[in-house]
Amino acid sequence: MPIDDGHAIHYAALERGTPVFSADEVELGAVEEVLDNYAEHIFDGIVMKTAEGALRFVDAPEVARTAERGVTLAISAAEAAELPPPEKAPPVFKPRGGGRLSRFLGGGWKKQ
C-alpha cells in the first residue's frame, strides 16, 4: 500500500518533524530544516534527523515529493543510509549586495 502523505505542498510549507520516506517506502526520519535560497526561490534540500538522532543532508534533486504528511525521496533506503551530514549547522544565506555576476562568481552570499 502506498504512503498516505496527503496533498502535495510547496517545500517552503514543510514543517519540522514531517516524516521522510525513501523511494522504497521506508521511513527514514523527519525533516529538521528546509534549506532554501530565498532571494532566488531555489530549493536547496533538507536536513533530515534520523531515528538514531543523526543529521543527514538531502540535496534537492534527491527529494521527489513534498506533501502534507510526508517527504518522499527519489532514492532507496540503502542509498539514503549513505547521505552525508550537513556542513556544521544548516547554512543560512542572506544577500549582501552585488549583482547577478557577483553572485555567480561567489561574492554575493554570506554564510552566517
pLDDT category of residue 87 using cuts at 50, 70 and 90: confident
CATH superfamily of 11-111: PRC-barrel domain (2.30.30.240)
pTM: 0.76
pLDDT one-digit tens code per residue, 64-79: 999 999 999 999 999 9
The Cα–Cα gap between 105 and 29 comes to 36
- Residue with the bigger pLDDT between 88 and 94: it is 88
What pLDDT shows up at residue 95?
41
What pLDDT shows up at residue 37?
84
The mean pLDDT of the chain is 84
- Cell triple for 53: 538522532
Give the start-to-end residue ranges of the domains of the chain: 11-111
Burial letters for 50-75: b for 16+ Cβ neighbours within 10 Å, e otherwise? beeeebbbbeeebbeebbeebbbbeb
pLDDT one-digit tens code per residue, 13-50: 999 999 999 999 999 999 999 999 878 889 999 999 99
What pLDDT shows up at residue 94?
42
What pLDDT shows up at residue 97?
47
What one-character-per-residue DSSP string does 28-70 give?
Answer: EEEEEEEEEETTTTEEEEEEEEETTS-EEEEEGGGEEEEETTE
- Cell triple for 67: 506533501
